[in-house]
Amino acid sequence: MGRKVTCIFLSVLSAWLLVARESALFGDDGGWSSGNHSLRDEGPCNIDVIHYTSLTYAQFLQQYAYVKPVILRGITDNKRFRFLCSKYNLLREYRDKTVRLSTANTHSYRKVDVLFDEFVEYLLRPQSAGTLGSETLYFFGDNNFTEWEALFDEYHAPPYKIPHTNPAYSFGIAGPGTGVPFHWHGPGYSEVIYGRKRWFLYPPDEEPEFHPNHTTLTWVRDAYSSLGIQQRPLECTIRPGEVLYFPDRWWHATLNLDTSVFISTFLG
């Protein structure tokens, strides 16, 4: 019994020391700080936010998996992964690797290959509302799983599974003001590692009005404020350590309020 208690204590102490080391070396933002370029407006939150200890797997399947989004707190422990995702650590490990960027529009995507170092140092910039989606390069999803395998092996995905699906990871980094405009696909999870990400969601039978080549930032500026109460989306801003689950075929758009590091688990 005493040995078991000692092991638990050492595990907790190790996790605490890792967090303390990360904060001391890179700050709470992992070195990705956007400074004055961060967006202030987090918007309202009308999505259920639940600590996973208050939600059984059976309740998740019944109340959310096929019904509506939910934000889960404490469902993953990714302190080690977070440490490895600091700006310093990622540049040290992947500086000379090629990453594939996509344009942030809804129906067609142009792909651009650049060195990771070039993306971080020159292309990872705040986005203005006047920039079209076809002009916005976004790093998300096109990951070389051979080169990034060591990093993904450290990620602990949410344990609540959807029957008859298989998980696939998509990792990304994006500057403030960037985001993906409205689209839909299968169910999945999204976890923020650094920064803040604002989400807007509509059920499958309520297709939102949006221009496929306008960014989410443009939509928020030009369309969001004019929506009536009944037209408003489900929305919330998620922070590091929070995981948003979205069901199959739900329309969703995202807006990064800071330079953000994030990972999604798509359940195909």
Average pLDDT of the segment spanning 59-75? 97
pLDDT score at 4: 47
Q: pLDDT tens digits for 32-43? A: 986 668 888 999
pLDDT of 24 strictly over 50: no
DSSP per residue, the chain: -HHHHHHHHHHHHHHHHHHHHHHHHHTTTTT---GGGS--------S-EEEGGGS-HHHHIIIIITT--EEEESS---HHHHHHTSHHHHHHHHTTSEEEEEE--SS---EEEEEHHHIIIII-----TT-BGGG-EEEES---TTTTHHHHTT----S-PPTT--EEEEEEEE-TT----SB--S-EEEEEEES-EEEEEE-TT-PPP--TTB-HHHHHHHTGGG--GGGPPEEEEE-TTEEEEE-TT-EEEEEESSSEEEEEEEE-
Tell me the pLDDT tens digit for each residue of 137-184.
Answer: 888 888 887 889 999 999 999 999 999 999 999 999 999 999 999 999
Q: Considering the domain 2-267 in this protein, what is its CATH number?
A: 2.60.120.650
Is residue 75 predicted with pLDDT exceeding 60? yes
- Of 12-21, 77-86, 93-102, 236-245, the poorest mean pLDDT is in 12-21
Which pTM value belongs to this model? 0.88
Q: How does the average pLDDT of the chain come out, rounded?
A: 88
